[in-house]
Chain A
Amino acid sequence: MSDIEQPAGELWGREGFREDPYVTAETLEEAGDAPAVILPLVAWLGLTEEIRNASNRKIGVLVAPGESIEPLLPLLDSIPVIALQFPAFNDGRSYSKAELIKNQHHFKGELRAVGDVLIDQVAYMLRTGFDTMKVNHAVTLNRLAGHNLHDVPGYYQPGRGSHTVSGTYSWRRVPGA
């Protein structure tokens, strides 16, 4: 495996790496005049409706595993990006939140995974509804750069980025749009 240098701070999606337009800040004031900001859940919920929907800046929200997504559900249309945190690779709560946000509540914006992501988890994340990930794990960054997702040829559950196959059981899927 070649060691491909990947600047941290870039965002990965199915199309590869790209520059992250968002800055992460604790408060709106701290973000200065950045046009795209991600705020912690409590700070985001503290914003007025007017500021959230302002046309001159995008304000996304960062949710920790222990925080409930309930208060966001009625407001999904006004959120450009929801970033779900993975402070440790083995905390899997955000997978279920992704499922709820994308598939049960039809969030149209960008769903992002942030934090300690193992390469073996990337395929799972894409299937539960994540669009992008911002990863701090060196091995994962390298493998992503090499387009090696550790995926399998078939799935035993419905999920994003897969489709049904005729002639087999209803719960099975294969990768592809």
Chain B
Amino acid sequence: MYRYDEFDHAFVSARVEQFKDQVERRLSGELTEEQFRPLRLMNGVYLQLHAYMLRVAVPYGTLSSRQMHKLAHIARHYDRGYGHFTTRQNIQYNWPALKDIPAVLDELASVEMHALQTSGNCIRNVTADHFAGAAADEVGDPRPYAEILRQWSSMHPEFSYLPRKFKIAVTGADRDRAAIQVHDIGLHLKKNEAGELGFAVYVGGGQGRTPMVAKKIRDFLPVEDLLTYTTAIVRVYNLSGRRDNKYKARIKILVHETGTEEITRQIEAEWQAIKETDLKLPQQDVDAIDTYFAPPNLVQRPEGWSGLAAARKADHAFSAWVDQNVTPHKNPDYGVVTISLKPIGGIPGDATDAQMDLVADIAEKFSYDEIRVSHEQNLVLPHVAIADLRIVYDLLLTDGLATANAGLITDIISCPGLDYCALATARSIPVAQRISERFGNPERQADIGELKLKISGCINACGHHHVGHIGILGVEKKGEELYQISLGGSGDEICTIGDITGRGFSSEEIVDAIETIVDRYLEIRTDKEETFLATYRRVGAAPFKDALYSEVANAA
């Protein structure tokens, strides 16, 4: 993975020193909360319902064991013993004291981490496929390009006061695990006919109150043009994006209102003017960054397969976990392990300090020191030998980290909602917990199969409900929490925005309503191979609406 050099260390230290000074001035009263606000936001410090919240960047979701131990340490010493992994592959601490935050930033800097640009109308943490560098279906590792973009976007003098926040995602496989089509810029690393690497470029995707699937504006952009082309896109957006209405300020609205053809023309024209400038990437620099992400020297472990068969036969629970949470690796002796942070009835994405330490220890011994944070709020061990799966599973089991539900209905994405968030209009965590309990039976959820359920506690859609196979949006209506359901959304390479079923459901009704949808799916699927999404795409919303509204009406 990428390692800071002196340049990076000096940069981050300078920022920490500046923030120390700002916090001191706030604590002494020299700065009012209003004056302090833009300064703290630049350092990832939000003011939430009950306390300040610190959002720490995990660039493209990649962590070393040392970094994970540090995150555990921060949770233990400066927070209440846990942290929350987010859909942006970041981690949030919910209870730090303002006076301690400069010390936390010092701690982070000591392991080459920071909280810069996790907030504000700037280019945010660049996200990537959480299986990057390991997945069997990968064309190229997207992380070197995410790292180049991370560096280039850090304190960008032209792009730090954009109309609104700006999110870039990069994927390196045809199977899109980074949801690039619901990002401001989505980059799909691919090879052209000559075998050269480049990107398909998507612009103008996003969720929030106006969900949109991104438009592909270029089928193949050579790697050397990554920064010039991105500059052209962001420059056109900075100049022309709407600033009169916060809810219409994202680039998706500009693309929609301008038209894909015209916006592409403007971007291409700007690009022609800057294509041959200093930002054109020399191959040697790309290679140098690439070297940091060289795959670990994986030891051949062919003995794993025979042992695995026996271990699976002996333990049904272990076997179910392998089926659900282990994904094929480039090297057939290895697997990619998803560590579910969705225990049945738990809070999606939360991990205790002890759990973080355990994951760090396991990664050090069994995953070549690498950990990933997924946008689905799980952790990933990217390089685990098949021969070590049993021991890794046993270790995870000791602290509730072996839930075999990756991709299943209880692997719920949920925003923090009204339990923490100042923007939320409804609670989302308790709904996630009750749904998880309702469907917690391992056989039942395995029978239901792949089903991505996502919950947001307000229209901002941090819980990605628009691209949930089943999405739930909590709103407030006449002082009551009301939950709208949408169906058929998907954040992968065939990206769709879910369709709203109709009137919402109360907090009491919502779990039953989800069960009604799932039961109808089980009745009408052609066979077990037809997933919920495939069924929905075949039959449309009608059978689900019928089930939903007639049954509830009958019950009432």
Q: Which residues of A contact B (CB under 8 A)?
A: 65, 89-93, 95-99, 104, 118, 120-121, 123-125, 127-128, 139, 150, 152-159, 165, 168-172
| Residue B274, interface by CB 8 Å | yes
Known: A168-B5, A169-B285, A170-B278. A95 touches B151 (CB 8 A): no
State the total of A-B contacts with C-beta under 8 angstroms.
Answer: 102
Residues of B within 8 A of A172 (CB): 7, 151
**Shortest CB distance A46–B (Å):** 24
- How long is the Cα–Cα vector from A159 to B277 in the complex, in angstroms? 12
**Shortest CB distance B339–A (Å):** 33
Known: A92-B160, A96-B239, A99-B235. A152 touches B279 (CB 8 A): no
Residue pair A96, B161 in contact (C-beta under 8 Å): no
Q: Which of A91, A127, A154 contacts B10 (CB 8 A)?
A: A154
Residue pair B156, A157 in contact (C-beta under 8 Å): yes
Residues of B within 8 A of A97 (CB): 239
Chain B stretch 31-56: residues in CB contact (< 8 A) with chain A: 35, 38-39, 42
- How long is the Cα–Cα vector from A159 to B160 in the complex, in angstroms? 14
Residue pair A95, B238 in contact (C-beta under 8 Å): yes
Residue pair A154, B7 in contact (C-beta under 8 Å): yes
Residue pair B278, A152 in contact (C-beta under 8 Å): no
- How long is the Cα–Cα vector from A104 to B275 in the complex, in angstroms? 12
Residue pair A158, B278 in contact (C-beta under 8 Å): yes
User: A-B pairs with the 3 shortest C-beta distances?
Assistant: A92-B161, A124-B157, A127-B157
Residue pair A152, B11 in contact (C-beta under 8 Å): yes
Interface residues on chain B, number (Cβ under 8 Å): 41
Residue pair A171, B155 in contact (C-beta under 8 Å): no
Residue pair B38, A89 in contact (C-beta under 8 Å): yes
Residue pair B157, A153 in contact (C-beta under 8 Å): no
Residue pair B161, A95 in contact (C-beta under 8 Å): yes
**Shortest CB distance B20–A (Å):** 13
Residue pair A104, B274 in contact (C-beta under 8 Å): yes
Q: Which residues of B contact A (CB under 8 A)?
A: 5, 7, 10-11, 14-15, 18, 35, 38-39, 42, 121, 148, 151-163, 227, 235, 238-239, 243, 273-274, 277-279, 281-282, 285, 288-289
Residues of A within 8 A of B155 (CB): 124, 152, 155-156
Residue pair B285, A156 in contact (C-beta under 8 Å): no
- How long is the Cα–Cα vector from A94 to B447 in the complex, in angstroms? 57
Residue pair B7, A168 in contact (C-beta under 8 Å): yes
Name the CB-closest residue of A to B285. Answer: A169
Known: A156-B154, A170-B278. A92 touches B42 (CB 8 A): no
- How long is the Cα–Cα vector from A140 to B58 in the complex, in angstroms? 32
Further pairs besides A92-B163, A95-B159, A95-B161: 6, Cβ < 8 Å: A65-B243, A92-B158, A93-B243, A157-B157, A169-B288, A170-B278
Name the CB-closest residue of B to A168. Answer: B7
Name the CB-closest residue of A to B14. Answer: A152
Residues of B within 8 A of A127 (CB): 157
Residues of B within 8 A of A118 (CB): 38
- How long is the Cα–Cα vector from A92 to B38 in the complex, in angstroms? 14
**Shortest CB distance B498–A (Å):** 33
